[in-house]
Structures are given as structure tokens and as C-alpha cells.
């Protein structure tokens, strides 16, 4: 088998693995939702049945599209190894974030315990099942989209470890890496370049900041990147993977995106809309407008219906019925303001674009209204020790894309401008596709007035990645031309090295803090072992923790406990576990 044939086989395999991993995630969510409609709770068998369901669906899709049995089996085996490894890895980590241990784990634990969000309020379920309840926490988990919680609860029911559900972050990141590697290698870049670019976006700043937690912003970002990838794959006729599989990939990526966060509905709608208009424009020029309008409109209508009315029934539909607002409580009448107290005071009278400018070009910091501090502008590519410390925060507010992002962003904009000029002259189709992506990024960023907070605008990271792709593609073109311009080659090569180096350093700053988290995991693991050992044969008294999700960690250790309001000053042998958040009370003095 020659190199070209091997390369083609690897590209197809990467596409297949990326598609199956995505299909697996959505299959778990869809199957669990079906069971909830029939009032069936999540059990230890749910993950197994969902996995079989995903294998069956993928097998049918591949068989219909003339896939070879050998290739189908290789795809499934590698994918299942990725899934198993991700679950095992996640189970060895601990969520050390406030949000993760409060409403995220609380929702996941309730789902695993039998809560049916389609028919029940979480507060009522907690009361009737003698679980710890909290009306404030219930507000969010009753109304927010629940895709990530549903998947995590299914994994939790199988492993009896609430931390294992964080595997969804790793699985979806690897799915993106495989899909993007396949596309870039097939169309523009060398394999090593494709892998490098794919890793840069698959494990970008937001993902690396949140990978050990139940935060969903990084997951949403990756779902947007994957959705965009399928839109591009469908548009780019030279990417000759099976067209049916591309459309299936687009469908399930939209379903996932819409049901991760409310903003996923906005983002997926904007990106899909601009490509939809472009497809109809092209169809008109080919005298196929009517038939293409019917096909594309029916596809998006059905996908939207499944995403909102079925998979999103426990959030969008329920919110509409109960509050006349599918996006309650973040938008519309009855909106709960969660931003004002979290943003810097000076943002109060500024537009979304002004806030974004402040955030991108200021020092990385967690300034807020309560602290009374303001963003501090800085010279791009300069770094302070305090910025590096602030990068440890998984949802850092200002400069959340990293300490070097302001400089990377400026350089990327310049690269893209020159790249677009060159594309306009040489390849109108590629120019049009890049234009649609850029317009979608710009419009979605402007519409979301809180784009200054990096985790709320993951689509912005497409800018430096697109710039890097353009650089690599141009470098490859210069090497392939007969009359080589070595000055251009050297300059482009240096720019590639510069962009790769700065992107790597910028991201590694987040990775370094996650490595330090591993040391804390050992401490938490020791703590949990201690309380498990101390609880043998008796019931432990603990103070009601601020983050109720932690109680499920105790359940996983088979720790029997009573929640007491006794002042810890009136007891002996008081100690804390799990990052100091669970306080164990001893005997009365």
C-alpha cells in the first residue's frame, strides 16, 4: 500500500472515529430522554444499552453507505477504548470548582437517584426522597439545558462515581481532534500540521481551564467547532467523505449544542443560518433553488424540532409551559440577572464591544463589581506574575483566553486579512467559506453582549486557529511551487513557528495549573479514604456544606451521615475533607 493510500485510509478512519464518538454522546442523551418520557429512571444498565444503541445506529449508517465490516469494527473498538479511557481518567480527578460542586453535581446526583426532569421539579424530588434540598440551586437545574448532566448521570450510574461523568469533556475534545485532522489533512495540510492544529483547538484555553470540572463552556465551544466543521465539510465538495454521514454529523452536533447551554441555541442558529443562506444562493445560481430550499429547510426544521421539543423537553418546552418563556430564567420576562454583580463596575454603562475590547487587551484577572477593581490595560505579549496566578481560575473573567491572547489575536487578524485577500484572488469558493465562518464569529460575538467573559464566547478562538491554518496552507503552497521564493518561505515558516509557540505557551499556562491540581487530587483522595474509614459502623455528623453536590461524593464512599446545625465550636475532633468544603463534626464537648 503506497503512502497516498495509507493517508486516505487514515483520513477516513479519523472521520469515522470522530463521528462515532459524537454519535455515542448523543445516543446516550437521546436514549435516556426516551426512557424519561416513559418514566424510567437512569440505572447502571443505561450506559450499556445506550452504547449498544450507538453501535447499532453507526453500523447501519456505515453499512448503508457501503462501509467495510473491518473498518466499522476498527472504528468501534478504537472509539470504545477512547471512551473507557476517558471515563477512567475522569474518575481519578476531582472537581474543585464552586459551580461544579453546587448545581452541576446536584443535578447529576439527582438524575442518577431517579429524578425525572420532564415530570418533576428537583426540589420536590429532593424532599420526597429525603435528599438535601436548596430552592436557589433548584432554580437553575430545573430550567437549564441538561445534555451534559444526563450523560454524566448515566456514566455515574454505571461507575458509582460522580466524578467519572466529567469524561464528556475529554470525549468531545477527542472527537473534534479526529474530525478536524481528517478534514485538514484531506484538503490543505500535512498530517502532522493537521494533528497539531486540531490539538490546539481541541484542548484550547477554555477546555484546559475546565477539563477537571463540570463547567460546560469548553464543551459548548467544542460543539460549536464541530458544528462548524460539518457545515464546512458539506459545503466543500472536494472533501469526499460520505455526504449522508456529514449531514448526520451536522444533525447530532446541533442537537448537542442546543442542549448544553441556552447560548448554544443562539450560536448554532447563527452559524447554521449563514451557511443555509449561502447554500440557497449557490442553488439559485444552479437553478436548483426550490428543491434545495425544501431539502435544507426540512432538515433544519426536523433537527430543531428534535433538539428543542424532544431532547430539550425538560428545559425549553417545560420553561415555555411553566413560564411562557423557553429561555427562562436567563432571558425575557422574569429574567434573573447573574452578570451585573460578576462584571467590573465600569462595565455598567459600556456596550458589548467596549467590554470585549477591555477584556481582550487587559491583564488576566478576576475583577468584579463586588471587588470594586477595574481591568488594567497592558501591552500585548507582556505578562505579569499575577496574571499567571489568575490563570488558575477556571472561569477567570478578564483576559480569559490567556495571558498572550491579546497579542495572538492582533497578529491573527493581520494574517487573516492578508490570507483573505489572497483567497479572493485565487480561490473564490474557499474565500466564500472563510467569509461565512468569520461573519458567523463576528455576528455571534456582537449579539452576545457578555462576550467579554471568554467562557461565554468560545467561538472567538476560531480566529487564531484559522490564522494558523492559513499560514500552514500558504507555507505548503510555497514549497510546492516550481519557482520557489525562499524569502517568503523563510518568513512564512518563522510566522508558523511564532504562532505555534505563542499559542502553545498561552495554553500551557492553563495546563500547568491543572498539573498542580493533580497534587490536590491526592490530598482529596486521602481525605475521602479517611472519612470512609472513620464512618465504618457508625453515622458521621457533618455541617450542611455550601455545595450540595458534595454529598453525593460521600454517598459514593458509602459514608452514612447526618447533616447537623451544631456549631463546630461545641464539638471535638472536627476535621474537613474535600478541599475543606465538607466539615466533619466529632462528639459534643
Question: What local confidence, expressed as pLDDT, does residue 362 receive?
Answer: 97
Handedness of CA 304, 310, 315, 321 (dihedral sign): positive
Tell whether 543 and 503 lie within a shared domain: no
Residue 524 lies in a domain: no
Whether residue 124 is predicted with pLDDT greater than 70 in this model: the reply is: yes
Question: What local confidence, expressed as pLDDT, does residue 568 receive?
Answer: 63
Here the cell at position 260 is 448544553
Measured CA to CA, the distance from residue 287 to residue 305 in angstroms comes to 29
Residue 475 lies in a domain: yes
Residue 243 lies in a domain: yes
Tell whether 49 and 131 lie within a shared domain: yes
Of 84, 106, 85, the C-alpha closest to 95 is: 106
Tell whether 540 and 510 lie within a shared domain: no
Handedness of CA 431, 436, 437, 442 (dihedral sign): positive
User: Which of 289, 323, 357 delimits the end of a domain?
Assistant: 323
Contacts with 282 (C-beta within 8 Å, 6 or more apart), sequence order: none
pLDDT digits (tens, 9 = 90+) for 414-440: 999 999 999 999 999 999 999 999 999
Measured CA to CA, the distance from residue 327 to residue 329 in angstroms comes to 6
Q: How many CB atoms lie within 10 A of CB 31?
A: 20
Tell whether 424 and 295 lie within a shared domain: no
Please return the burial class of 73, using the count of CB atoms within 10 Å of its CB with bins 0-12, 13-18 and 19+.
exposed
pLDDT digits (tens, 9 = 90+) for 434-479: 999 999 999 999 999 899 999 999 999 999 999 999 999 999 999 9
Tell whether 291 and 386 lie within a shared domain: no
Residue 337 lies in a domain: no
pLDDT confidence band for 569 (50 / 70 / 90) = low
Of residues 524 and 546, more confidently modeled: 524
Mean pLDDT of the chain: 94
Question: What local confidence, expressed as pLDDT, does residue 513 receive?
Answer: 95
Of residues 370 and 297, more confidently modeled: 297
CB 361 within 8 A of CB 400: no
Tell whether 145 and 175 lie within a shared domain: yes
Contacts with 162 (C-beta within 8 Å, 6 or more apart), sequence order: 105, 108, 109, 112, 152, 156, 549, 552, 553, 556
CB 458 within 8 A of CB 221: yes
Strands 561-564 and 540-543, bridge-based pairing = parallel
pTM of the predicted protein model: 0.96
Mean pLDDT of 178-201: 97
Q: How many domains does the chain have?
A: 3
CB 495 within 8 A of CB 502: no
Residue 48 CA from chain centroid, whole number: 24
Return phi, psi of residue 189, to 5°.
-115, 165
Of 472, 491, 143, the C-alpha closest to 325 is: 143
Tell whether 88 and 237 lie within a shared domain: yes
Tell me which residue has cell 472567538: 460
Contacts with 302 (C-beta within 8 Å, 6 or more apart), sequence order: none
pLDDT digits (tens, 9 = 90+) for 320-343: 999 899 999 987 777 887 787 889
User: Which of 323, 357, 379 delimits the end of a domain?
Assistant: 323
In this structure, the chain runs to a length of 589
Q: How many CB atoms lie within 10 A of CB 292?
A: 15
pLDDT confidence band for 587 (50 / 70 / 90) = low
Of 99, 160, 156, the C-alpha closest to 455 is: 99
What single string gives the DSSP state of each residue in 495-544?
Answer: HHHHHHHHHHHHHHHHHHHHHHHHHHHHHHHHHHHHHHHHTTTS-EEEEP
Measured CA to CA, the distance from residue 118 to residue 134 in angstroms comes to 19
Tell whether 483 and 552 lie within a shared domain: no
Of residues 367 and 176, more confidently modeled: 176
Residue 328 lies in a domain: no
Tell whether 33 and 127 lie within a shared domain: yes
Q: Point out the least confidently predicted range of 60-74, 149-163, 235-249, 564-578.
A: 564-578
Tell whether 299 and 258 lie within a shared domain: yes
Whether residue 136 is predicted with pLDDT greater than 90 in this model: the reply is: no
The three-class DSSP label of residue 398 is strand
CB 61 within 8 A of CB 169: no
Residue 530 lies in a domain: no
Tell whether 471 and 558 lie within a shared domain: no
Mean pLDDT of 277-306: 97
pLDDT digits (tens, 9 = 90+) for 44-56: 999 999 999 999 9
3-state SS record for 111-149? HHCCCCCCCCCHHHHHHHCCCCCCHHHHHHHHHCCCHHH
User: Which of 323, 356, 390 delimits the end of a domain?
Assistant: 323
Structural domain range at position 550: 535-585
Residue 298 lies in a domain: yes
Measured CA to CA, the distance from residue 317 to residue 522 in angstroms comes to 43
Contacts with 587 (C-beta within 8 Å, 6 or more apart), sequence order: 571, 572, 573
Residue 340 lies in a domain: no
Tell whether 25 and 162 lie within a shared domain: yes
pLDDT digits (tens, 9 = 90+) for 91-103: 999 999 999 999 9
Q: How many CB atoms lie within 10 A of CB 515?
A: 9
Amino acid at each position: 500500500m503506497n503512502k497516498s493510500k495509507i493517508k486516505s485510509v487514515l483520513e477516513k478512519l479519523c472521520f469515522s472515529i470522530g463521528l462515532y464518538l459524537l454519535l455515542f454522546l448523543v445516543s446516550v442523551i437521546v436514549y435516556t430522554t426516551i426512557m424519561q418520557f416513559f418514566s424510567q429512571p437512569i440505572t447502571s444498565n443505561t450506559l450499556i444499552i445506550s452504547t449498544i444503541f450507538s453501535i447499532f445506529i453507526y453500523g447501519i449508517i456505515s453499512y448503508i453507505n457501503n462501509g467495510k465490516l473491518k473498518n466499522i469494527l476498527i472504528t468501534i473498538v478504537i472509539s470504545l477504548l477512547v471512551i473507557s479511557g476517558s471515563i477512567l481518567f475522569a474518575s481519578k480527578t476531582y472537581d474543585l470548582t464552586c459551580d461544579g460542586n453546587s448545581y452541576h453535581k446536584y443535578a447529576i446526583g439527582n438524575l442518577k437517584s431517579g429524578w425525572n426532569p420532564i415530570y418533576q421539579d428537583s426540589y420536590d424530588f429532593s424532599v420526597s426522597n429525603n435528599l438535601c434540598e436548596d430552592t436557589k440551586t433548584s432554580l437553575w437545574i430545573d430550567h437549564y439545558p441538561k445534555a451534559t448532566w444526563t450523560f454524566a448521570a448515566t456514566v455515574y450510574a454505571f461507575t458509582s462515581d460522580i466524578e467519572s461523568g466529567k469524561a464528556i469533556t475529554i470525549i468531545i475534545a477527542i472527537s473534534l481532534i479526529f474530525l478536524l485532522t481528517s478534514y485538514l489533512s484531506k484538503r490543505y495540510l500535512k498530517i502532522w500540521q493537521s494533528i497539531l492544529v486540531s490539538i490546539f483547538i481541541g484542548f484550547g484555553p477554555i477546555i484546559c481551564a475546565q477539563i477537571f470540572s463540570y463547567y460546560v463552556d469548553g464543551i459548548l465551544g467544542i460543539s460549536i467547532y464541530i458544528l462548524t466543521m460539518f457545515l464546512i465539510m458539506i459545503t466543500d465538495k472536494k472533501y469526499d467523505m460520505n455526504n449522508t454521514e456529514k449531514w448526520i454529523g451536522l444533525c447530532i452536533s446541533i442537537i448537542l449544542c442546543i442542549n448544553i447551554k441556552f447560548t448554544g441555541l443562539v450560536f448554532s442558529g447563527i452559524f447554521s443560518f449563514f451557511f443555509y443562506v449561502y447554500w440557497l444562493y449557490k442553488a439559485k445560481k444552479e437553478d436548483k433553488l426550490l428543491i434545495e430550499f425544501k431539502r435544507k429547510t426540512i432538515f433544519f426544521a426536523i433537527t430543531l424540532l428534535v433538539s428543542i421539543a424532544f431532547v430539550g423537553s425538560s428545559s425549553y418546552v417545560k420553561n415555555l409551559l411553566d413560564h411562557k418563556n423557553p429561555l427562562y430564567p436567563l432571558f425575557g420576562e422574569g429574567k434573573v440577572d447573574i452578570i451585573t454583580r460578576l462584571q467590573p463596575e465600569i462595565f455598567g454603562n459600556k456596550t458589548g464591544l467596549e467590554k470585549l475590547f477591555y477584556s481582550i487587551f487587559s491583564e488576566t484577572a478576576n475583577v468584579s463589581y463586588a471587588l470594586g477593581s477595574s481591568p488594567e490595560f497592558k501591552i500585548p505579549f507582556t505578562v505579569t506574575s499575577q496574571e499567571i496566578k489568575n490563570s488558575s481560575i477556571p472561569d477567570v473573567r478578564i483576559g480569559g483566553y490567556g495571558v498572550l491572547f491579546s497579542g495572538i489575536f492582533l497578529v491573527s487578524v493581520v494574517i487573516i486579512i492578508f490570507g483573505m485577500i489572497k483567497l479572493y484572488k485565487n480561490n473564490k469558493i474557499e474565500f466564500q467559506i472563510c467569509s461565512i465562518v468569520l461573519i458567523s464569529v463576528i455576528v455571534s460575538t456582537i449579539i452576545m453582549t457578555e462576550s467579554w467573559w471568554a467562557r461565554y464566547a468560545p467561538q472567538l478562538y476560531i480566529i487564531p486557529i484559522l490564522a494558523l491554518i492559513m499560514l500552514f496552507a500558504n507555507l505548503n503552497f510555497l514549497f510546492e511551487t516550481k519557482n520557489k521564493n525562499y524569502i517568503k518561505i523563510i518568513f512564512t515558516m518563522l510566522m508558523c513557528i511564532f504562532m505555534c509557540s505563542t499559542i502553545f505557551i498561552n495554553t500551557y499556562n492553563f495546563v500547568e495549573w491543572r498539573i498542580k491540581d493533580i497534587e490536590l487530587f491526592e490530598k482529596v483522595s486521602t481525605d475521602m479514604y479517611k472519612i470512609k474509614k472513620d464512618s465504618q459502623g457508625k453515622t458521621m455528623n457533618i455541617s450542611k456544606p455550601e455545595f450540595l453536590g458534595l454529598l453525593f461524593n460521600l454517598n459514593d464512599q458509602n459514608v452514612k451521615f447526618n447533616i447537623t446545625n451544631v456549631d463546630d465550636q461545641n464539638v471535638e475532633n472536627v476535621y474537613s475533607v474535600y478541599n475543606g468544603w465538607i466539615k466533619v463534626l466529632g462528639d459534643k464537648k
